[in-house]
Amino acid sequence: MDFTLLSSPLQGFTDFRFRNAQNKFFGGIDTFYSPYIRLNGKLVIKASYERDLLPENNLGLEVIPQVITNDAEEFLFVAKYVRELGYKELNWNLGCPYPMVTKSGMGSGLIKNTNQINHILDRAHSETDIIVSMKMRLGYDTTEEILDVLPILDTYPLKNIAIHARIGKQLYKGGVHLDAFQQCIDNTKHKLYYNGDITSVAKFQEMQERFPAIDHWMIGRGLISDPFLPTMIKNNTTEYPKNKMELFSAFHDTLYAIYSESLSGQTHILLKMYHLWEYFAETFSNPHKILKQIKKAKSIRNYEAAVSSIFKNEK
């Protein structure tokens, strides 16, 4: 069965720089979702959001913009903005699990508020021509919360609903709730995409067997910790390319050069790279040791020396 692989949007990671580098060196992702636009009550698009979505910064990529909001006016404002950039679809984030979002009644913290979800979707479909898709968790406190929302969603012509099979308060801890995801399949007319813990070819195949009707699969953290994964899934192989470390090194160097240019000051650059290495380390034979080496590097010079040593020593 043919299937589509999508990159889940991760704040601070999957910006246009990462998307372009991943696509150039590894490929395999059919569609990228951009990290969400959050307006915080002001109808103004920040320059960083604009840069991330400009068509010239995403050449050759299929990108879908995302918004996080609990306010209809904000939704409509972002919808108009992305339409002006040439995008036809806007994804609405009801999945973000982080307390700074959920405490404001957004992301997975909005799932319980069925009236507000209905109100925003009603206005989106009556006042814009944007195609709306959803990215959700199963709920914030319980996996049953989504079951109260699905009948409302069924009244709108949504393109799809991508579901991360956890609840918000789990963050990324604990396992995915596969029975609850199956309940969603059984209780909606909409096309569902699966998201959650696709971190290896074996895991992907396990999910495919469990959910044979699903043909769109979203990879989140697994893409950062193993950017080879999408192509390996597509090629149905667990074998890495012979030049694995050479490719990964070139990928790292590209990102490092871009972030060194776009971020100001040593601290910002190192912090950005440290965060990436929390995932990158998983590609190496001794992740704990690798991460320790990276975090010990407190200057640009030491960081570059550590990275050089890591790639030299990894077979």
DSSP annotation of 284: S
Q: How far apart are CA 149 and CA 194, in angstroms?
A: 17
DSSP annotation of 220: S
Structural contact between residues 133 and 89, judged by C-beta atoms closer than 8 angstroms: yes
Q: Map tokens 């910002």 to a residue.
A: 268
Distance of CA 175 to the CA centre of its chain: 18
Catalytic choice (96, 110, 136, 184) = 96
Q: How far apart are CA 41 and CA 68, in angstroms?
A: 12
Q: Map tokens 């609405």 to a residue.
A: 92
Amino acid at 79: A
Q: How far apart are CA 25 and CA 243, in angstroms?
A: 11
Instruction: Please check if 221 is assigned to a binding site.
Output: yes
Instruction: Please check if 109 is assigned to a binding site.
Output: no
Tally of CB atoms within 10 A around 207: 19
> For residue 133, what are the β-bridge partners?
91
Reading the block at residue 62, the tokens are 């299929």
Q: Map tokens 């050449």 to a residue.
A: 59
Instruction: Please check if 220 is assigned to a binding site.
Output: yes
Annotated active-site residue 184? The verdict is no
Q: How far apart are CA 192 and CA 154, in angstroms?
A: 12
- Listed in sequence order, the residues at least 6 apart from 51 whose beta carbon sits closer than 8 Å to its beta carbon are 16, 57
Instruction: Please check if 190 is assigned to a binding site.
Output: no
Numbered residues of the known binding site for FMN: 66, 135, 164, 220-221
Numbered residues of the known binding site: 66, 135, 164, 220-221
The residues annotated as belonging to the active site are 96
